[in-house]
Amino acid sequence: MEIRTIRDDEFRDFLRMGEFAFQYELSDEDVENRKSLLELENCWALYEGEEMASKLTIHPMKIWLAGKQMPMGGIAGVASWPEHRRKGHIKALMRKSLEVMKEKGQYVSMLHPFSFAFYRNYGWEMTHQVMKYEIKPVQLPKRKLDYSGRVFRINHDIERLNAMYERYAEDYSGMLKRSELWWKQSILPNEREIVAVYQDVNGVDQGYMIYKVKKEHMEIEEWINLNGEAKRAMIDYVSNHDSMVDKITIHPPVHESFAFWMSDPKIKQEISSYFMSRIVDVEKFLKEYPFQKPVDEKPFIFQVTDSFAEWNNGVFIVRMNEDAENEVEHIPPKDHSSCTQEPKRGVLCDINALSTMFFHCMRPSELAEQGWISGSKTEIERLEKLIGSHKPFLYDFF
């Protein structure tokens, strides 16, 4: 058994395994698009002899986390041929992926799972959900909402859209930093998407939506509003489509209520679990994380267990130096065993709980209440203040 990156002449076989596993077909144009997005050094495969048996991709990306951009390894396209399944291949590839990401400084990772239980075994944990609203035109506001700017359609001006997207994304945990190529191939791949922008009375762009109308269905693929006025204006804009659609779907952040604005708030709302995330390198992550309150009064202590990445086991003591930079002291376990007693200082948790907590999916108090982390009430409350309160959200898929 060998794990390595693929050669150029193996790229089509690499894609073919994904086509079979996920039951889709790629056109010649699709294959060329994948080539432009993927680099061979990010395509990993496990071989039995000369045969490619299993594979995955590690996308080098960046995300916003607590208002800061961080390097992230996006795991995708995890697959095996059926005759090679249940041999431990994926486990070996996931372990290799962690080693690779650690070496490259990608100290967090995200993936879209086929099974949450499966990837929890490897330390990834649920961090993102997706909301879907389904609205009937008759439920839309009956009156014109108050705003002073205007909504108008534009061409696919990526630079303009990205400027608004980044202002929005920095307030959430887990949103991707998008390249121009990502915009072109993943967000606006063709001319069918309609783009509308809200510009305030001072001529400043404050929101946009990307949508399409087909068979009386208005599907809003992306809705960004930077203030309440932009939201009101775009709801009013959507109402102007009432004569040509019988269904409107929107995918906003889970916490953002649209029902309140409707004449009839009894709209269909569906929440689904979406992405999982993981801290790859706890020591590096804690050095870079933008804690919301100085930790210089006294250090904060994390006791972490990680059964799949041994470098994350042990005690991590976080202090802030005179330059307001995090200093982290890592004390590995002496006998490679895990502490199970409630700590007198700091918190005790596994990598799953640590990851979902720092991605702001679950608050420390919620995790403590459910027995996922241990620590005194005082230390849990202190940690609540330290990590901040950015909400998790992700529009993209990979």
Residue 173 and residue 289: Cα distance in Å, rounded?
12
The residue-averaged pLDDT of 1-10 equals: 96
* Alpha helices, H only, the chain: 11-22, 28-37, 89-103, 116-120, 158-169, 180-182, 228-239, 282-288, 351-358, 364-369, 377-387
Q: How far is CA 114 from CA 43, 144, 199, 276, in A?
A: 19, 43, 40, 11
**For residue range 16-35, what is the model confidence (pLDDT) as tens digits?**
999 999 999 999 988 988 88
The residues pairing with 46 across neighbouring beta strands, listed in sequence order, are: 3, 54
How far from the centroid of its chain's Cα atoms is residue 110's Cα?
6
What proportion of the chain, given as a percentage, has pLDDT over 70?
Answer: 97
Residues with Cβ within 8 Å of 156's Cβ and at least 6 positions away in sequence, in order, are 188, 191, 193, 195
The residue-averaged pLDDT of 83-95 equals: 97
Residue 354 φ/ψ region, left for φ over 0, alpha for ψ in the -120 to 50 degree band, beta for the rest: alpha
User: Strand locations in 176-281, DSSP E?
Assistant: 194-199, 205-214, 217-225, 247-250, 268-279
Phi, psi of 245, deg, nearest 5: -135, 155
The DSSP call for residue 41 is: G
Q: What is the pLDDT of residue 287?
A: 97
The residue-averaged pLDDT of 115-138 equals: 97
The residue-averaged pLDDT of 56-60 equals: 98
Q: Tokens for 340?
A: 């199970």
- Residue limits of CATH 3.40.630.30 in the chain: 2-106, 137-266
- Residue limits of CATH 3.30.1050.10 in the chain: 277-390
Total-model pTM: 0.93
**For residue range 335-356, what is the model confidence (pLDDT) as tens digits?**
544 555 667 789 999 999 999 9
Query: What CATH code would you report for 2-106?
Result: 3.40.630.30
The residue-averaged pLDDT of 62-72 equals: 97
Whether CATH 1.10.150.130 fits 277-390: no
**For residue range 260-282, what is the model confidence (pLDDT) as tens digits?**
999 999 999 999 999 999 999 99
Query: What CATH code would you report for 137-266?
Result: 3.40.630.30
Radius of gyration of the chain (CA): 23
Mean pLDDT, all residues of the chain: 94
Q: What is the pLDDT of residue 324?
A: 82
* Closest listed residue to residue 245, CA positions, set 269, 227, 222, 219: 219
**For residue range 143-189, what is the model confidence (pLDDT) as tens digits?**
888 999 999 999 999 999 999 999 999 999 999 999 999 999 999 99
